[in-house]
């Protein structure tokens, strides 16, 4: 009888302790909460308006560095973000994709507008000077490099293939690797939107 009572006390204590502890969300992406980099940006959009995180307050922001002539990684990533928004239903309106071009030489405002329109007309593209893009990439720990092609004047851009995700308060929260899939992204965005 004493042993049974002691077992019940231990179970009750464990339950009470569990209730007191704050449970952390179980993200599928890498949790960067509290990171001391990639806190903000200031780059012009395709209309020349300088944008920063505060412009998207109240929305979860998925930020990706890429370029429009990318053969696979960029269109796949942008498609996954668009699909994740759809999977969220009405909450999809609380998600903002931001595409930062690492190829401002070829990615003119017109090209970027058309490219974003292929995925979601609400997606925002940012295009800074080569110096602005380099400074932002350094702050975000993003790699990119021009790779000369076989034909004169042709080139591709090697670049990091992951996205940064900010919560609706504008805080950096997640790093999602390329190819994680729309469902995993939607699940993580749903958790962030629930916190808001």
| Contact between residue 52 and residue 41 where contact means Cβ atoms under 8 Å apart | yes
Q: Is 20 flagged in the annotation as binding? A: no
Query: Can you give the pTM of this predicted structure?
Result: 0.85
Q: How far apart are CA 25 and CA 106, in angstroms?
A: 40
Supply the pLDDT for residue 22: 56
**For residue 152, what pLDDT is reported?**
83
pLDDT at 195: 85
Contacts of 55 (CB under 8 A, 6+ apart): none
Taking the chain (196 residues) in consecutive chunks of 10 residues, what is each chunk's mean pLDDT? 51 48 77 93 96 96 96 94 97 97 96 96 96 95 92 88 95 92 95 88
Please give the pLDDT value at position 126: 98
Beta strands 43-44; 50-51: pairing state: antiparallel
pLDDT of residue 100: 97
Contact 196, 167 (CB under 8 A): yes
| Domains in the chain: ranges and CATH | 33-195 (3.40.30.10)
- For 97, the enclosing helix (H) or strand (E) is strand 95-101
| Angle at alpha carbon of residue 65, lines to 60 and 66, rounded to 5° | 130
The C-alpha angle with vertex 179 and arms to 140 and 34, in degrees rounded to 5, equals: 35
Q: Are strands 172-177 and 124-126 parallel, antiparallel or unpaired?
A: unpaired
Q: How far apart are the first and last CA of the chain?
A: 48
Per-residue confidence (pLDDT) for residue 175, from 0 to 100:
95
């Amino acid at each position: 009888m004493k042993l049974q009572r002691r077992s019940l006390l231990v179970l009750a204590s464990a339950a009470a302790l569990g209730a007191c502890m704050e449970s952390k969300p179980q993200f599928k992406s890498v949790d960067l909460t509290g990171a001391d980099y990639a806190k903000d940006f200031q780059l012009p959009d395709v209309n020349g308006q300088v944008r920063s995180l505060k412009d998207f307050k109240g929305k979860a922001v998925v930020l990706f560095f890429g370029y429009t002539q990318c053969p696979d990684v960029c269109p796949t990533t942008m498609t996954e973000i668009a699909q994740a928004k759809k999977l969220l239903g009405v909450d999809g309106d609380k998600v903002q994709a931001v595409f930062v071009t690492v190829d401002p030489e070829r990615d003119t405002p017109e090209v970027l507008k058309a490219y974003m329109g292929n995925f979601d007309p609400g997606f925002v593209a940012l295009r800074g000077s080569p110096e602005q893009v380099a400074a932002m990439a350094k702050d975000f720990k993003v790699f990119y490099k021009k790779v000369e092609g076989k034909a004169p004047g042709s080139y591709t851009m090697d670049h990091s293939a992951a996205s940064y995700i900010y919560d609706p308060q504008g805080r950096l929260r997640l790093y999602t690797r390329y190819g994680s899939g729309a469902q995993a992204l939607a699940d993580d965005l749903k958790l962030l939107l629930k916190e808001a």
